[in-house]
């Protein structure tokens, strides 16, 4: 069992993105297989899963936490009236602003998720919330704060989709050649982030007031064998 915090690598998405071409949108956020960007069909599966959960309407105001560089976010602009993407990475947000921002209604800002929800002055503006492939990188305290604050302050958000969560019960499906220790699986600063069982996630979300329904990507999805999605709604 690994206990030494230096026995496994950390990963910095902001610094990683800077090493790639400005238009390598999938590589910047490591939406890759063996270093190569995933096929367009894979992105379509992601977009379809999000749309199926959120059921965006023309008058919806969508908030996306941990939006990355906006490469997937842009596919939702035509389905909602207003969009705000928030990410802690200054570089990824600069890419999003340069390539995908459509002012005044489809915007991106640099901010950590917990800091943003804590200080948003008009939380009632938003009707739907999305966090795809980013929740696992929140520090544990931030993850809890985000869930509680969205429930308590963002009172018009009825549906929250948190996708691409690493499933601790299926970690062995990803780590084929070694068995990571508990500390590594719980560390948000690795390339995969924090692994949680569905029960652990459900308890955390329920503690903030949310009802949770889990779903899974099609078997053809490149990461479907070790990840799950969660739709959160109010009781």
The CATH number of the domain where 38 resides is what?
Answer: 3.40.50.150
Domain containing 131: what range? Answer: 13-234
Is 4 part of a structural domain of the chain? no
- pLDDT digit string (tens) for 151-204? 999 999 999 999 999 999 999 999 999 999 999 999 999 999 999 999 999 999
The reported pLDDT for the residue numbered 1 is 42
CA distance 136 to 56: 24
pLDDT band at 2 (very low <50, low <70, confident <90, very high): very low
1 domain-assigned: no
Structural domain tally of the chain?
Answer: 1
All residues at 6 or more sequence positions from 17 whose CB lies less than 8 Å from its CB, including other chains: 28, 29, 69, 89, 91, 92, 95
Distance in angstroms (rounded) separating the CA atoms of residues 13 and 5: 19
Read off the pLDDT of residues 139-159 as tens digits, 9 standing for 90 and up: 999 999 999 999 999 999 999
Q: Is residue 19 part of a domain?
A: yes
Indicate whether 42 belongs to any domain: yes
């Amino acid at each position: 069992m690994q206990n030494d915090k230096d026995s496994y690598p950390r990963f910095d998405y902001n610094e990683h993105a800077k090493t790639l071409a400005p238009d390598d949108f999938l590589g910047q956020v490591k939406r890759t297989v063996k270093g190569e960007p995933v096929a367009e069909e894979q992105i379509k599966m992601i977009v379809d899963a999000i749309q199926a959960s959120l059921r965006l309407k023309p008058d919806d105001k969508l908030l996306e936490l941990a939006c990355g560089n906006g490469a997937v976010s842009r596919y939702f602009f035509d389905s909602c009236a207003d969009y705000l993407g928030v990410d802690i990475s200054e570089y990824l947000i600069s890419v999003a602003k340069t390539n995908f921002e459509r002012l005044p209604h489809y915007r991106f800002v640099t901010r950590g998720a917990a800091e943003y929800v804590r200080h948003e002055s008009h939380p009632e503006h938003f009707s739907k919330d999305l966090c795809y492939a980013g929740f696992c990188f929140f520090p544990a305290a931030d993850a809890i704060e985000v869930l509680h604050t969205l429930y308590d302050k963002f009172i018009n958000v009825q549906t929250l989709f948190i996708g691409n969560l690493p499933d601790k019960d299926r970690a062995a499906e990803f780590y084929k050649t070694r068995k990571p220790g508990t500390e590594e699986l719980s560390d948000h600063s690795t390339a995969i982030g924090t692994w949680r069982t569905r029960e652990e996630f459900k308890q955390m979300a329920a503690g903030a007031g949310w009802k949770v329904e889990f779903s899974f990507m099609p078997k053809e999805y490149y990461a479907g064998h070790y990840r799950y999605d969660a739709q959160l709604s109010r009781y």
